[in-house]
Amino acid sequence: MDLDPAVQTFAAESRELLGNMEEALLRLEADSGEKDDINAVFRAAHTIKGSAGLFGFDGIVSFTHKVEHLLDRLRDGAMGLDADCVALLLACCDHIGALIEDAVSGRPLSAELAATWRVLHEKLEGYLGPSAKPQPQAGASEAAPLPAGQPQEPNSAAADWHISLRFGREVLRNGMDPLAFLRYLATVGDIVHLTTITDALPHAEEMDPEACYLGFEISLKSQADKAAIESVFEFVREDCAIRILPPRSKLSEYIALIEELPENTMRLGDILVKSGALTQAELDRSLRQQTAEAAQAPASVADGAPPRPLGEILVQEGRVAQSVVHAALDKQQQVREHKAQENRFIRVEADKLDQLINLVGELVIAGAGTHLLAQRAGLGDVLESASTLSRLLEEVRNNALGLRMVQIGATFQKFQRVVRDVSRDLGKDIELVITGGDTELDKSVVEQIGDPLMHLVRNAMDHGIEPHDVRLAAGKPARARLMLHAYHDSGSIVIEVSDDGGGLKRDKILKKARERGLVGEGQSLTDAEVHRLIFEPGFSTADQVSNLSGRGVGMDVVKRNIEALRGTVELTSRESVGTTVRIRLPLTLAIIDGFLVGVGPARYVIPLEMVLECVELSPAERQACMGEGYVNLRGQVLPYLRVRALFDLQGQAGSRESIVVVQYGGRKIGLVVDTLHGEFQTVIKPLGPLFRRLRGFSGFTILGTGEVALILDVPGLIQTVATKDAHGGSSAAHAVAASAGVGSDAA
């Protein structure tokens, strides 16, 4: 039986639970958390421990149990939560994560992890009290760095529980090992007596080798509560019959258990007697009493009339208040709703989603070809059918892309821990403010934006935000603010990393740029141009080299990584006020709505969300703007590019030309083309390594005819126009053409 998929699922769920633990602990440290946060941390740790026990990862079970013991004392109010305790629990979260990664990969426990284990174990013992427990030795296997059973504190209050367990037929097929649950149960307490029930086992010729026929009657001595014992079987609760009788249960409850189970009554009675749950005399007396009560039962009960609710009986007897019953019912309803909510979601492997997106992309291309053939044939019925197909494909495309859209809030939340740890290392008081966390974008973009954001956040804390005394001297609050903000704009997502620190020093940047020969002595630059200098490779104004970050050091890498995602990055700063880095990214890297245009025989695609309008140039306007880089658009000056001249395409322009007005990041330009072909569903394909450095293009797509159409890089074209105009270029089109360096062969 291949357990690898189940182990990978365990790892993914554990990472998510550790993330939840970390967030809750940070809320508690900030005094903004509630008591429920401690319960949430405890539940997450308990779930990880239980799952690890099922797979035999005893090292994770042993360490997590010690953490769980500390959390249990915090829950009960036996000790208070301070900053040192939160720091210890956060370190324990990191260590559990490292243990999980090693266990899943099958690596033995490293010397470094073993040393961390010992340090954390000693700190935990400082809170819980010493107990002689063996420590893991370097090089020992993760599967058994400590004894298999989790540490049990000696407690005379441990009592006897009785558990009747009948595994369902599908347990083995679902990848579960029944014996793993028994091993994990042994970590909750001591199994005093265990009897295997095989009454359901069929004859050999009727047996299904993949089905499970096992049952167990178990006596467990433990100080755990019923919920903790039930949680041992959480992953098979739906497939099994589990009955747990607490210590000192009534004889009638044991008799009811015997009657509910499918096995022979006398056989089950003997098992209970042998396990010590009942004496033979108690069993005989209870069976006789149960028989007599059944014979004298009222007719209404015998006829199957529904019994009164337990809550009603308890209230009437004065054992509980009505409000307690209502609270219990409300809690039960909340649990049901929570489980119903969980059942609305399923986990899907990212590779399967990627495969689905690729197939949808091929369908889009095939659908475009079908629609083109229908147009050429001129058959009305076929054309109508092709239009219906295109509409359905568009809906399938949108739904498929929606599956890959995730909220960026989860990525932002990871920086709470980073800000906490780094600010402490730097001796600064920094508050992270997150807004727009519900903004959605493609999962592949989220995965690749993490590293650039990490550099920007650490960079802002290290060099952007001033030390405590400097802030006070400048009249600023002692607590600095670092802000992460996300929002949608013009079909893109914008992520802003802002701080209220000292800002960039213009004079210092210019001096450094002149020393490196990046700027001439008499050259005058705007603030935006000065700020862009920090994205030059190796550029830094830091007086001291820092291992943490350096404003400018590595910023070229940040820019390069963002541009690889077809995004742009810009920076604004005011000295003594703060700095904002603004990242603009496409929502998806797979399929977009495009606008197809033509210049001579060449075809180009412009992302539709960037297209504002299309305007036909009259002969007079063509003559008036000939050779210029601007056109009068309803009283506004609009810079434009002639695509034919930009890419050095051969041939003469047609008798009609149109300007496609595009906008990105608040800037507008016009693109002069020969023909407008209309909207086009575009499957984005990356350019090969040979053409990756070409400016002006962000990829290509395949048309329904099988021809290749290049996708124009509108942000890059706008940025190039703005840069050339700022330097006083005589013609925007000429300047862009010179910078693009693209010939007709490439087009």
Helix, strand or coil, per DSSP, at residue 466: coil
Could you tell me if residue 684 is inside a domain?
Answer: yes
| Contact present, 61 and 187 (Cβ < 8 Å) | yes
Taking the alpha carbons of 517, 523, 526, 527 in that order, is the dihedral positive or negative?
positive
pLDDT band for 323, please (50, 70, 90 cuts).
low
| Contact present, 520 and 544 (Cβ < 8 Å) | no
Residue type, 255: I
121 Cβ partners below 8 Å, 6+ apart? 63, 66, 133, 135
Phi-psi domain of 83 (left: phi exceeds 0; alpha: psi -120 through 50; beta: other): alpha
Q: Where are the alpha helices (DSSP H) in 404-442?
A: 409-426
Model pLDDT, residue 334: 54
CATH code at 546?
3.30.565.10
Looking at 586, 603, 627, the residue that finishes a domain is 586
Domain membership of residue 77 as a residue range: 4-128
E strands, 88-135, are none
Is 575 in the same domain as 525?
yes
Q: Which helix (H) or strand (E) covers residue 578, if one does? A: strand 578-586
How many Å apart are CA 588 and CA 682, to the nearest integer?
A: 12
Q: How many domains does the chain have?
A: 5
Which has the closest alpha carbon to 643: 594, 727, 713, 729?
A: 713
How many Å apart are CA 677 and CA 277, to the nearest integer?
A: 83
Model pLDDT, residue 95: 92
Other Cβ atoms less than 10 A from the Cβ of 456: the count is 28
How many Å apart are CA 617 and CA 659, to the nearest integer?
A: 7
pLDDT band for 10, please (50, 70, 90 cuts).
confident
Other Cβ atoms less than 10 A from the Cβ of 287: the count is 17
Q: Could you report the per-residue pLDDT of 77-113, keeping only the tens digit for each? A: 778 888 888 889 999 999 999 999 888 888 888 888 8
Looking at 566, 586, 606, the residue that finishes a domain is 586
Q: Could you report the per-residue pLDDT of 257-295, keeping only the tens digit for each? A: 777 777 666 555 666 666 566 666 666 665 565 555 555
pLDDT band for 233, please (50, 70, 90 cuts).
confident
Is 419 in the same domain as 551?
yes
258 Cβ partners below 8 Å, 6+ apart? 265, 268, 269, 272
Looking at 128, 143, 178, the residue that finishes a domain is 128
Could you tell me if residue 569 is inside a domain?
Answer: yes
Which has the closest alpha carbon to 732: 622, 662, 640?
A: 640
What pairing do the DSSP bridges indicate for beta strands 667-673 and 636-642? Answer: parallel
How many Å apart are CA 455 and CA 558, to the nearest integer?
A: 8
CATH code at 626?
2.40.50.180
Could you tell me if residue 340 is inside a domain?
Answer: no
Is 546 in the same domain as 615?
no
Is 559 in the same domain as 600?
no
How many Å apart are CA 614 and CA 675, to the nearest integer?
A: 11
How many Å apart are CA 138 and CA 107, to the nearest integer?
A: 12
pTM of the shown model:
0.62
Phi-psi domain of 651 (left: phi exceeds 0; alpha: psi -120 through 50; beta: other): left
Model pLDDT, residue 219: 87
% residues pLDDT > 70 (the chain): 76
Is 524 in the same domain as 628?
no
**Within a 13 Å sphere around the CA of 507, how many CA atoms are in the beta-carbon half?**
1
Could you tell me if residue 318 is inside a domain?
Answer: no
Could you tell me if residue 232 is inside a domain?
Answer: yes
Is 209 in the same domain as 120?
no
Q: Could you report the per-residue pLDDT of 690-714, keeping only the tens digit for each? A: 776 777 888 888 887 778 889 898 8
Is 97 in the same domain as 170?
no
Cα distances (Å, whole numbers) of residue 205 to 74, 167, 208, 622, 678: 56, 21, 9, 90, 69
Could you tell me if residue 306 is inside a domain?
Answer: no
Is 416 in the same domain as 290?
no
Model pLDDT, residue 499: 94
Could you tell me if residue 140 is inside a domain?
Answer: no
Quote the mean pLDDT of the chain: 77
Model pLDDT, residue 131: 46
CATH code at 205?
3.30.70.260
328, burial (CB in 10 Å: exposed 0-12, middle 13-18, buried 19+): middle
Ranges 297-306, 368-377, 432-441: which has the least confidence:
297-306
Q: Could you report the per-residue pLDDT of 483-518, keeping only the tens digit for each? A: 999 998 866 889 999 999 988 888 888 888 888 888
CATH code at 73?
1.20.120.160
Could you tell me if residue 640 is inside a domain?
Answer: yes
Is 373 in the same domain as 438?
no
Beta bridge partners of 215: 166, 197
Cα distances (Å, whole numbers) of residue 282 to 250, 254, 277, 278, 610: 11, 10, 10, 6, 83
Is 105 in the same domain as 13?
yes
Is 381 in the same domain as 482?
no
Is 626 in the same domain as 570?
no
Q: Which helix (H) or strand (E) covers residue 718, if one does? A: helix 714-726
